[in-house]
Amino acid sequence: MTAPGDVVAAYWAAAATRDWDAFGDLVAEDVVYEGPQTRERIRGRAAYVRFNVEGFPGDWRLRVVRIIGEGRGAASWIDFTNADGTTQPGLCFFELNDDNRIARITDFWPDPYELPAQRAHLVERF
Amino acid sequence: MTAPGDVVAAYWAAAATRDWDAFGDLVAEDVVYEGPQTRERIRGRAAYVRFNVEGFPGDWRLRVVRIIGEGRGAASWIDFTNADGTTQPGLCFFELNDDNRIARITDFWPDPYELPAQRAHLVERF
C-alpha cells in the first residue's frame, strides 16, 4: 500500500469502524493536524488518536465521496452524518511521509450559508 | 497538457488574471458547477463564465495552495482574498472529460466557526 489515496482510504475505513489501532498506525508519530476554521492544531499520534476518540462522541458515521492522491499528497471529501441524522461534507488535504504514513492533515468543514444576492440571478438552486 | 492537475492550474491562472477566454476554453461546453453549501448550480460554459465574471465583482485575488490530480479527477485548495483584504480558503473537486476539459466542479467555502467546547481540551490554538 504505497499510493497516498490507498492510505487515505484505509484511514477513513479505520475511522468508520472505530479501529483506532489501525487508525493510529496510519498516521506518523509526529503527525500534525490543523483545522483552519477554528485555528485548532494537534501534534503527535497519541494526541491525534485521543482527539478522534474523545472529540467526536456519539453514533456518527461517514461515507467517502472522493479520494484523490498524487505524489505524497491526497485530498478527500467525505459525508459525515451525526447521531441526529444531519450530514455535513468534510474535506481534508493530506501529506504523507516516506514511510507512507500521514504526516500532515488539514481539515475543513463547510457549513450551509445564504446565497449572496449579487449572484442569485446567475444560478439555479437544487 | 493532459494531467488533470495541469488543467486545474491553468484554470486558476486564467481566473486570477481575468483571462475569461482561456478560462472558458478550459471548461466543457456542458460543464456543471455545484456549490453544495448554498445549493446553487450552473449548467454550461457561457453561464459559468458569466457567473465568474459577474458574480464576483471587485478586486479579489487568489493564490493556489495545493492542487492534486489523479485519473480524471483533481482537487484544489486556494486562498481567495476579497477587496477588503479578508482571505478565505476555497476548496474544489473537479472531474475532467475525455477532451481534458473540466466537466464538473464542486465548490466549497468553509467559514470560521467557534471551537466546540467538547474538544477544546484536546487541541492547541494557532
Phi, psi of A32 (to 5 degrees): -125, 125
Predicted confidence at residue A79, as pLDDT, reads 98
- CA B96 vs. chain centroid, Å, equals 14
Using the beta-carbon criterion (under 8 Å), do B118 and A73 form an inter-chain contact? no
Q: What is the DSSP letter of B34?
A: E
**CA-based nearest residue in chain B for residue A47:** B122
Contact B122 A54 (CB under 8 A): yes
- pLDDT tens for A77-97 read 999 999 899 999 999 999 999
Contact yes or no for B103/B13 (Cβ under 8 A):
no
Name the pLDDT band for B12 (thresholds 50, 70, 90).
very high
Instruction: State pLDDT tens for residues B70-113.
Output: 999 999 999 999 989 999 999 999 999 999 999 999 999 999 99
Q: What is the pLDDT of residue B41?
A: 98
Q: For the segment A42-77, what is each residue's pLDDT rounded down to a tens digit?
A: 999 999 999 999 998 889 999 999 999 999 999 999
Dihedral of the alpha carbons of B48, B49, B50, B56, in degrees to the nearest 10: 100
What is the predicted ipTM?
A: 0.95
Given pLDDT bands bounded at 50, 70 and 90, which one contains residue B2?
Answer: confident
Which residues, other chains included, contact A73 with Cβ-Cβ below 8 Å and sequence gap of 6+?
A: A4, A93, A94, A95, A96, B66, B68
Q: Which residue of B has its CA nearest to A108?
A: B110
| Contact yes or no for A41/B40 (Cβ under 8 A) | no
